[in-house]
Amino acid sequence: MNANSILIHQTKHRARFLCDILKSDLNPSSLEDELNEIDGVSSVRINKLANSIVFKYEDESVLAQIQSKLDTLNIDQFQVCDTFLSEHVVCGSCVGEDKPSKAGVIRASSALVAERLVSDDRAKLALSTAASLPLLSEGVKELYSEGLTSKVLEALAVGVSLARKDYLAANGTNVMLELGEYIEETTVHKSDDLIKELAKPNVSEAWVEFDIRGKKELRLVATSTIKVGDIVVVGAGDTIAIDGHIISGTSSVNQVSMTGESEAVKKERGDRVISGTVVEEGRIKIWAESVGEDTATARIKNYIASTLNEKSAVGLKATKLADKLVPVTLGLAGFSYLLSRDMETVASVLQADYSCALKLATPVAFKTSIAKAGKNGIMIKGAKSLEALNEADAFVFDKTGTLTYGELVVEKITSYDKKWSEEKILNLTASAEEHYFHPVAEAIVRAAKKKGFVHMHHEEVEFIVAHGVKTIIDGKDVIIGSRHFLEDDEGIDFSKHEKAIETCLLDGRTILYVGYDKKLLGTIGMRDKVRDNAKAMITKLKELGVKKTIMLTGDIEIKANKLAKELGIDTVYANMQPQDKADIIKKIKADGYKVAFVGDGINDAPALMSADVGISMSKGADIAKATADVGLLKDDIEAVSEAKELSMKTMKLIGTNFNATVGINSVILVGATLGMFSPLTTAVLHNGTTIGLLANSMKGV
């Protein structure tokens, strides 16, 4: 299928095209990389929402070439794969299953050894040509399809050696080239294997209801075997493995992994539930609507797969520079012939060029670092993300769930009855709540156990989803939950305690209300605890050269400034509304900063997209993870500074490799041009340098 495009706006150095291709589910990073290869194009920006592509160029003469390229694009190669973890990968943007093959190395090495044992020239030629045929044919194909590239130069070097009957040089060069390619493929495969492992689903089994001879039976089955229309039964504490609608039952579902909201949500018949969320209370039957790779969690994995192989700006520059330097090598080969009139010198020059190391070492360094980050619980979605993280000099943090744990801690207990102490109210509440596992109940029970929990005997506890709990102690009603539950549903009077409640709310606490014998007995104020290592992370970022740290919060200004001072944060934006976050990011960028934004909620998605690099927390919302460039797989804020440090070390390694490539290969080329090296010596020096740089990249940082 080909794309249709229309030029809708043009200036001297910029043009915007409306493209039908963007209406399909494709990988924009791969498409950008392809369009960046057009000669004369300096940058490409894709806007999927507007179905447009913006090109920047030096000369308007390139417009015709852009139009031609867009009209002849085969969009199939840019489709996002729906089978990231399937047995057969059908999309070029996804991670392949084929293992690196040693066949090329074995073939070239065998020819190198066998040629030395054969005396007949025709046999030597046949052996050497057969071993070099794949390289020669690839060189010819690239010459016709892409012009002068490094592969053409490699094929020409081996071809000249074969024509000169210098079989040792031809086979030696072939061995070194095959070995370098095998090392690169091995490194890439290892990092891809890790990323595939990280993306495997967490839920491997689920209970499915079957109709056996007219009777309903539950069977535990592999999630991979669940089909659309199956009835999946999920109980308290279980993770939902499919997307679907509830057909019976009521439950309290924690959707923090998908929405970033810590409060559980009541779900009942007719409501939709999504994979990756957890049933905290109740038991539900779900009609499976989306299964396997069609679920919400699987779509996240496909997003990661589609961005995995994107090229960084420095990688694209290295590739373009490498191809541009091919004519330089050919020019030096011609110059050497004019100096010496000796084809051996020409063959020597052709053995060396800049492109191999420039093209291979950079992507291998990125892949190695991405794999290392994955092992340390940090998912970096491609080379561009790593590069952007290196450049970030302003870090913006959403407070809740990011600088804080997103876990409630009991902070203040207020009694409105002199006969009831704070400790007794806590024991009463914990006695009723200890059978439940929602965040509020867990916070209450933890606090009671720390103070020496004394259980108070009670009747059966009734759990009212999204409201609270009811029971009876000493013949009197105990009602615990939200203000709406106690005041509106149960008729408990709050008027005498409004001022105390308001003070607690203004201080930023979450309040649980406790009613006893039809009266408001007391309140329990809870707060989200600041992460223990948040301050160390901020300090580390500043040591790494970050110029500005910012916190966004809905807290009042006095409270926000107190926390910022405690953590060492430079700037605070308090009383924030969720919709304001993206505007703040844009303002900071307008001041000249490269911005990294760290968030976790569904309302953080616009800010994550607006930032130069977005970082999502491990317990963050589904959409936050999808839009972020870096996803933390562990619930540790210090991973932010670890990721920043890794990115800086990676770019330093790439810079070192780049300088070494240019410096060493320049010396080799000059030596070969002046006849100082034989073809075999040049091949060993050049390819040895490439393999050395690959090994340096594989070692990582």
CATH number at 217 reads 2.70.150.10
Q: What is the rounded CA–CA span in Å between residue 170 and residue 160?
A: 8
With a cut of 60, say whether residue 676 has pLDDT above it: yes
654 with 667, same domain: the answer is yes
**Domain-embedded: residue 94:** no
Q: What angle do CA 232, 238, 242 make, to 5 degrees?
A: 40
Question: Percentage of residues in the chain with pLDDT exceeding 70?
Answer: 82
With a cut of 70, say whether residue 418 has pLDDT above it: yes
543-572 per-position pLDDT tens digit:
999 999 999 987 778 778 888 999 999 999
Q: Does residue 39 or residue 89 have the better pLDDT? A: 39
Q: What is the rounded CA–CA span in Å between residue 56 and residue 54?
A: 7
With a cut of 70, say whether residue 701 has pLDDT above it: no
Tokens 């002068």 label which residue? 148
182 with 322, same domain: the answer is yes
Amino acid 85: pLDDT: 31
CATH number of the domain that residue 589 is part of: 3.40.50.1000
Q: Does residue 675 or residue 593 have the better pLDDT? A: 593
**Domain-embedded: residue 85:** no
Amino acid 572: pLDDT: 94
With a cut of 70, say whether residue 293 has pLDDT above it: no
376 with 363, same domain: the answer is no
Q: How confident is the model at residue 91 (pLDDT cuts 50, 70, 90)?
A: very low
* Residue 64 Cα distances to 15, 21, 47, 58, 122, angstroms: 11, 19, 21, 14, 50
Structural domain tally of the chain? 5
Contacts of 340 (CB under 8 A, 6+ apart): 675
Name the most confidently modeled range: 56-60, 171-175, 205-209, 590-594.
Answer: 590-594
Q: Are strands 548-552 and 571-573 parallel, antiparallel or unpaired?
A: parallel
Q: In this structure, what token pair is assigned to residue 245?
A: 């609608």
Helix (H) or strand (E) holding 549: strand 548-552
Contact in structure between 167 and 124 (CB atoms under 8 Å): yes
488 with 536, same domain: the answer is no
* Residue 315 Cα distances to 172, 366, 387, 629, angstroms: 28, 9, 10, 18
692 with 556, same domain: the answer is no
φ and ψ at residue 467, rounded to 5 degrees: -125, -60
347 with 377, same domain: the answer is no
Mean pLDDT of 31-35: 79
Contact in structure between 674 and 340 (CB atoms under 8 Å): no
Contact in structure between 549 and 580 (CB atoms under 8 Å): no
* Residue 308 Cα distances to 188, 299, 498, 631, angstroms: 11, 14, 55, 13
Amino acid 82: pLDDT: 36
**Domain-embedded: residue 91:** no
451-486 per-position pLDDT tens digit:
999 999 999 888 887 688 999 999 999 999 989 899
Q: What is the rounded CA–CA span in Å between residue 383 and residue 318?
A: 13
Contacts of 36 (CB under 8 A, 6+ apart): 43, 44, 316
* Torsional class of 282: left (φ above 0), alpha (ψ -120 to 50), beta (otherwise): left
* Residue 701 Cα distances to 185, 310, 317, 392, angstroms: 19, 21, 22, 19
Amino acid 99: pLDDT: 66
> Range with the lowest mean pLDDT among 324-328, 448-452, 545-549?
324-328
223 with 343, same domain: the answer is no
Asked which of 644, 672, 691 is the last residue of a domain, the reply is: 644
Contact in structure between 174 and 135 (CB atoms under 8 Å): yes
Q: In this structure, what token pair is assigned to residue 2?
A: 């080909």
> Range with the lowest mean pLDDT among 39-53, 383-397, 543-557?
39-53
315 with 361, same domain: the answer is yes
Q: Does residue 500 or residue 344 have the better pLDDT? A: 500
222 with 280, same domain: the answer is yes
**Domain-embedded: residue 688:** yes
342 with 418, same domain: the answer is no
CATH number of the domain that residue 441 is part of: 3.40.1110.10
Average pLDDT taken over every residue of the chain? 80
**Domain-embedded: residue 84:** no
**Domain-embedded: residue 579:** yes
8-state DSSP, 86: S
Tokens 């700006």 label which residue? 313
8-state DSSP, 503: H
Which among 87, 161, 91 has a CA at the least distance from the CA of 124?
Answer: 161
Which among 555, 608, 613 has a CA at the least distance from the CA of 581?
Answer: 608
State which residues form the domain around 286. 205-238+243-290
CATH number of the domain that residue 53 is part of: 3.30.1370.10
178-202 per-position pLDDT tens digit:
877 787 677 666 555 555 544 444 5
The residue type found at 10 is Q
With a cut of 70, say whether residue 609 has pLDDT above it: yes
Contact in structure between 696 and 355 (CB atoms under 8 Å): no
With a cut of 80, say whether residue 584 has pLDDT above it: yes
Cβ neighbours of 147 (radius 10 Å): 12
Q: What is the rounded CA–CA span in Å between residue 490 and residue 476?
A: 14
**Domain-embedded: residue 297:** no
Q: Up-side HSE of residue 413: CA atoms within 13 Å toward CB? A: 22
Contact in structure between 504 and 523 (CB atoms under 8 Å): yes
192 with 334, same domain: the answer is yes
Contacts of 114 (CB under 8 A, 6+ apart): 127
331-362 per-position pLDDT tens digit:
888 888 888 887 878 877 877 776 666 667 77
Bridge partners (DSSP) listed for residue 511: 525
Q: What is the SS3 assignment for 468?
A: strand
Q: Does residue 523 or residue 118 have the better pLDDT? A: 523
Contact in structure between 168 and 680 (CB atoms under 8 Å): yes
Contact in structure between 634 and 618 (CB atoms under 8 Å): yes
Q: How confident is the model at residue 626 (pLDDT cuts 50, 70, 90)?
A: low
The residue type found at 51 is N
Amino acid 86: pLDDT: 32
Amino acid 17: pLDDT: 84
Q: In this structure, what token pair is assigned to residue 182?
A: 């095998």
619 with 602, same domain: the answer is yes
8-state DSSP, 554: S
In the chain, DSSP finds a helix count (H) and a strand count (E) of 24, 26
**Domain-embedded: residue 86:** no
Burial class (CB in 10 A: 0-12, 13-18, 19+), 205: middle
Amino acid 515: pLDDT: 96
Amino acid 424: pLDDT: 95
With a cut of 70, say whether residue 307 has pLDDT above it: no
Q: What is the SS3 assignment for 366?
A: helix
Q: How confident is the model at residue 102 (pLDDT cuts 50, 70, 90)?
A: confident
Q: How confident is the model at residue 315 (pLDDT cuts 50, 70, 90)?
A: low
